[in-house]
Homo-oligomer: A and B are copies of this chain.
């Protein structure tokens, strides 16, 4: 792990069609890590829109990023295009080779997988895509945050907040993470017990799966092409 006194370069990847809270949840934490430079890097320097339309602009383009110590990859519908975007995948691969931690949120894990980073790893992603992890050579782990040797994987969407706080503690100690959590008033009181397929009402889950069936099928087709490219044998 990084010595406590080393200045850290932390960067998040921004892309068209991301799920904004995969970025903005962790942002709240990453932007408050002491003695660090935190920047958001876009595929280009242009503003993008999240999957529901939120307009976010990067600080710089990925081509202008320094070697990062922490590389954060969010997910969201737009991740599918990235899975076959060699410009982005190559950047992720080169950054990951020099980074201390790669931190994926939600289907950002599939982008890391497409970059070839998941072979032999324990990983997690959104509940709706966790069955795709073996296409990248990973072992799916049904936990909210999975830490595996230089990788932190947060499961779906808001799990990025939990993952980022875990990461802050790893980088700067528990006191620092606790102070950030206090500032954020992160003592959640979800109004329903519906944030996990294991506890959500059956009808709500069935409708949710139905609503994303097309996305899931398309993602699986892409994952199969990636598996072939990576030489991963899947049944």
Interface residues of A (CB under 8 A from B): 19-21, 24-25, 27-28, 31-32, 38, 40, 47, 52-59, 106, 126-127, 144-145, 155-159, 161-162, 165-166, 169, 174-175, 177-179, 181-197, 199-201, 203-205, 207-208
A169, closest chain B residue (CB): B191
Beta-carbon contact of A185 and B127 below 8 Å: yes
Residue numbers in B under 8 Å from A126 (CB-CB): 185
Question: If A21-B24, A53-B31, A55-B59 touch, does A179 touch B191 (CB 8 Å cutoff)?
Answer: no
A57 interface neighbour in B19, B47, B193, Cβ under 8 Å: B47
The complex is assembled from copies of this chain, and their number is 2
Min Cβ gap A201→B in Å is 6
Question: If A145-B189, A158-B188 touch, does A27 touch B20 (CB 8 Å cutoff)?
Answer: yes
Question: If A40-B54, A54-B31, A56-B55 touch, does A190 touch B197 (CB 8 Å cutoff)?
Answer: no
A20, closest chain B residue (CB): B24
A144, closest chain B residue (CB): B189
A47 interface neighbour in B47, B52, B53, B161, Cβ under 8 Å: B47
Beta-carbon contact of B190 and A165 below 8 Å: yes
Residue numbers in B under 8 Å from A186 (CB-CB): 157-158, 188, 190, 195
Q: Please name 6 pairs of A and B residues whose Cβ atoms are closer than 8 Å in the assembled complex, sorted by A.
A: A54-B56, A126-B185, A161-B188, A178-B192, A179-B207, A179-B208
Beta-carbon contact of A194 and B207 below 8 Å: no
Beta-carbon contact of A195 and B181 below 8 Å: yes
Residue numbers in B under 8 Å from A200 (CB-CB): 178, 181-182
Beta-carbon contact of A184 and B169 below 8 Å: no
Shortest Cβ-Cβ A-B pairs, 5 listed: A156-B185, A187-B195, A31-B52, A24-B24, A178-B194
A25 and B188 CA atoms in complex are apart in Å by 12
A47, closest chain B residue (CB): B57
Beta-carbon contact of B59 and A53 below 8 Å: yes
Residue numbers in B under 8 Å from A190 (CB-CB): 162, 165, 181, 186-188
Beta-carbon contact of A184 and B188 below 8 Å: no
Residue numbers in B under 8 Å from A197 (CB-CB): 182
Beta-carbon contact of A157 and B28 below 8 Å: yes
